[in-house]
Amino acid sequence: MLSITIIQTHLHWENKEANLRMLEDKIRNIGERTEVVLLPEMFSTGFSMRPAELAESMHGETVAWMKEISEKYKIVLAGSVIIKEEEKFYNRFIWMLPNGQYGTYDKRHLFAFAGEHLQYTAGNKRAIASVKGWKINLQVCYDLRFPVWARQQLQTKEDGEKVPEYDVLIYVANWPERRSHAWKTLICARAIENQCYVIGVNRVGKDGNNLYHSGNSLVIDPLGEVLYHQADEEDVFTITLQKEHLENIRTKFPFWKDGDQFNILEE
């Protein structure tokens, strides 16, 4: 089993201090036992196209805050942050462990419709995190529209057995309400085609560009069944994923074995 908490929240536009205070308060008040806490895309600033003013290094305030909160509450803390590295800006998903170690994933598909590709550098490597024997694929918002990037691949164990690459697919997002139908539809599709749990964590409220976000955070099981859905309101929700349920579905319906094998080439 793996307990995961989704924080669907309004974000203070380009105000790191206010967002970090608000998020710590929400984390402090989680009532249930949890092991992983998920925050939206660019949780400390909102989805801003001003990285030159807002970006931090991996030694900056927000990453330090993540380390502190993760250790204090004994949780994996995850969400994306604006990061500057070698004079480039990244929309970076950070997976922070309580011991201060972390993994990162740089958003691959930059949202050209909003000019993200003009301000940020795209990543070129997927990231599969591991916790309690669960393999978790980390992705960000617009990545959802590109199924090849998330496609389940087969891995070979030492004994030669073929197994799916990951068990949970996570999208952290700032996805506007006007395209919420696509959001809800594609998250269900990713779960069905990859035979995994999918979690989408989105923000609510208007951002600094007056775009309204309806949340619609979701947890979908490997058959495409909706286990959690919340629209329009802030919510802190904890769910326990069942490994036995996942394995039973994959055993009963072993469609994953028939998938096409391929390599994604770097540009």
Active-site positions? 41, 107, 141
CB atoms within 10 A of CB 141: 27
Nearest CA among 60, 74, 67, 18 for reference residue 43: 18
Q: Are strands 168-173 and 134-140 parallel, antiparallel or unpaired?
A: parallel
Nearest CA among 194, 200, 124 for reference residue 165: 194
Residues 91-125, buried b or exposed e (16+ Cβ, 10 A)?
bbbbbbbbeeebbbbbbbbbbeebebeebbbebee
- Report the C-alpha gap between 99 and 27 in whole angstroms: 18
Question: Could you tell me the CA-to-CA distances from 236 to 37, 114, 141 in Å, in that order?
Answer: 10, 28, 19
Q: Are 139 and 149 in contact (CB under 8 A)?
A: yes
